[in-house]
Amino acid sequence: HTPWPGLIEAYRDRLAIGPDWEPVTLREGGTPLLPAAHLSEITGCDVHLKVEGLNPTGSFKDRGMTMAITDAKARGQRAVLCASTGNTSASAAAYAAKAKMTCAVLIPQGKIAMGKLAQAVMHGARIIQVEGNFDDCLELARKTTAEYPQIGLVNSVNPARIEGQKTAAFEICDALGKAPDVHALPVGNAGNITAYWRGYSEYFADGITSVRPRMLGVQAAGAAPLVHGAPVKNPETIATAIRIGSPASWHGAMAAKDESGGAFRAATDEELLEAYRLIAATEGVFVEPASAASVAGLLAARKEGWLDAGLTVVCTVTGNGLKDPDTALLGMPAVQPIPVDPAAVASALELD
Ligand code: F0G
């Protein structure tokens, strides 16, 4: 077995990249496509989880970031900037560190999970809190990089990001030996659904696959502009990663839905948390709350008959649960310590 080289080397001939560009890589991609036995049983479908939390910084953002930082380096840029609900900033910080570049991140005040902030701190990013939400941060990042073009913008409005992220669709088709019938994923700024659709469409155009999946984009109910067909001014959800009211890749997301015969749907915070706990408790996969949107959407869509039993379904779970321990421990009762004594363990377990 040769080791996985990272997605740029693995899919170089399918990526918009110069022949002499030297990849900045942490060997991202190559993530497991995990058969989900419990989800398959309760839906009657053949359900798989694309476990993107196993990327180097714990989210799918690394696929886009290896491309964006490689591109920025090839252009001679020394500094990059992004707006982020947390994962993009963690990823940008890590890849910038690897490339010996300066990284600055704009984050919405008080609304990012602790693990993500810890990552940006450890990788040496300059962290700038903004009095506003993600949409405000992105607008500020766009204006700043337009005025200071020596700083590279590494949000998914950067085309290199979408290029890198499309490789997840390639990996899924390579693993299944076909395209799935339905692909469900969480949608925030809508870069990822745009990227998946591009990946599926490229394999289809080249005859590697014979169908393209129906795309099911799932948003949090309090931040569901694509479901409502209009931007949301004050997005609110426990899934801070997708707390976004005005997705930058609106058109890409619409095209993915329309061309695939797909759908957008909203999941309430309760549905998100229920799916979040279900995946952890039954599949052994700990994801962050936003990531569970794909599964919450699948379960609701199946119940409503939007998809039939027997279909092959892939749910992308976008980020690692360890990023947000606060939500995992929400409502957990205080645990009383016990004496160092087997009888005390037995009594705590209510054995007798
Ligand atoms: N899931 C997670 C865990 C995310 O962090 C994001 C986006 C999404 C899903 C949605 O992906 O934006 O391409 O539709 N996080 C961005 C960030 C906004 O700043 O980390 P999308």
Residue nearest to atom 12 of ligand 1 (CA): 189
Q: CB of 238 within 8 A of CB of 326?
A: no
Q: What domain range is 186 assigned to?
A: 7-59+161-324
Same domain, 289 and 172: yes
Cα atoms in the 13 Å half-sphere on the side-chain side of 164: 30
Q: How many domains does the chain have?
A: 2
Tens of pLDDT along 143-170? 999 999 999 999 999 999 999 999 999 9
How far, in Å, is the centroid of ligand 1 from the Cα of 27? 20
**225, pLDDT greater than 80:** yes
The Cα diameter of the chain in Å comes to 71
Mean pLDDT of 122-137: 98
Helix and strand counts by DSSP (H, E) for the chain: 15, 10
Same domain, 34 and 84: no
In a domain, 344, yes or no: no
Same domain, 172 and 250: yes
In a domain, 197, yes or no: yes
Cα atoms in the 13 Å half-sphere on the side-chain side of 171: 28
For ligand 1, is residue 287 a contact (CB within 6 Å)?
no
Same domain, 178 and 257: yes
> Which residue carries 């707390």 as its tokens?
243
Q: Which two tokens stand for residue 53?
A: 């939390």
In a domain, 349, yes or no: no
Strand partners, 288: none
As a dihedral over the C-alpha atoms of residue 107, residue 245, residue 271, residue 45, rounded to 10 degrees, the angle is -100
Mean pLDDT of 75-84: 97
Pocket test for ligand 1, best of 50, 87, 163, 187 (most atoms within 8 A of CB): 87
Same domain, 261 and 118: no
Tens of pLDDT along 249-292? 999 999 999 999 999 999 999 999 999 999 999 999 999 999 99
Q: Which two tokens stand for residue 200?
A: 């599926």
Q: CB of 82 within 8 A of CB of 154?
A: yes
**344, pLDDT greater than 90:** yes
Q: Which of 157, 181, 203 is the last residue of a domain?
A: 157
Q: Is 155 helix (H, G, I), strand (E, B) or coil?
A: coil
In a domain, 347, yes or no: no
pLDDT at 12: 96
State which ligand 1 atom lies nearest to the alpha carbon of 61. 20
Mean pLDDT of 78-102: 98
How far, in Å, is the centroid of ligand 1 from the Cα of 35? 23
For ligand 1, is residue 260 a contact (CB within 6 Å)?
no
Same domain, 170 and 295: yes
In a domain, 219, yes or no: yes
- What is the C-alpha separation between 71 and 133, in angstroms, rounded? 28
Strands 33-35 and 46-51: antiparallel
Same domain, 92 and 238: no
Tens of pLDDT along 13-71? 999 998 889 999 999 999 999 999 999 999 999 999 999 999 999 999 999 999 999 99
Query: What is the DSSP secondary structure assignment for residue 49, as one 8-state letter?
Result: E
State which ligand 1 atom lies nearest to the alpha carbon of 194. 13
pLDDT at 2: 86
Same domain, 167 and 120: no
State which ligand 1 atom lies nearest to the alpha carbon of 90. 20
Instruction: Quickly state the pLDDT bin for 304 (edges 50, 70, 90).
Output: very high
pLDDT at 154: 98
**1, pLDDT greater than 90:** no
- What is the C-alpha separation between 185 and 221, in angstroms, rounded? 15
How far, in Å, is the centroid of ligand 1 from the Cα of 84? 8
- What is the C-alpha separation between 94 and 119, in angstroms, rounded? 8
pLDDT at 352: 73
Same domain, 138 and 210: no
**120, pLDDT greater than 80:** yes
How far, in Å, is the centroid of ligand 1 from the Cα of 211? 27
* 2 carries a ligand binding annotation: no
Strand partners, 46: 312
How far, in Å, is the centroid of ligand 1 from the Cα of 22? 27
Residue nearest to atom 6 of ligand 1 (CA): 241
Same domain, 139 and 193: no
In a domain, 330, yes or no: no
In a domain, 257, yes or no: yes
Whether this model's ipTM surpasses 0.95 comes out as: yes
**331, pLDDT greater than 90:** no
pLDDT over 70 percentage in the chain: 100
How far, in Å, is the centroid of ligand 1 from the Cα of 186? 8
Q: What is the mean pLDDT of the chain?
A: 97
In a domain, 221, yes or no: yes
- What is the C-alpha separation between 144 and 131, in angstroms, rounded? 16
> What's the CATH code of the domain at 186?
3.40.50.1100
Cβ-defined contacts of 269-274 (< 8 Å, 24+): 269/220, 269/221, 269/222, 269/237, 269/238, 269/239, 271/296, 271/300, 272/220, 272/237, 272/238, 272/239, 272/296, 273/238, 273/327
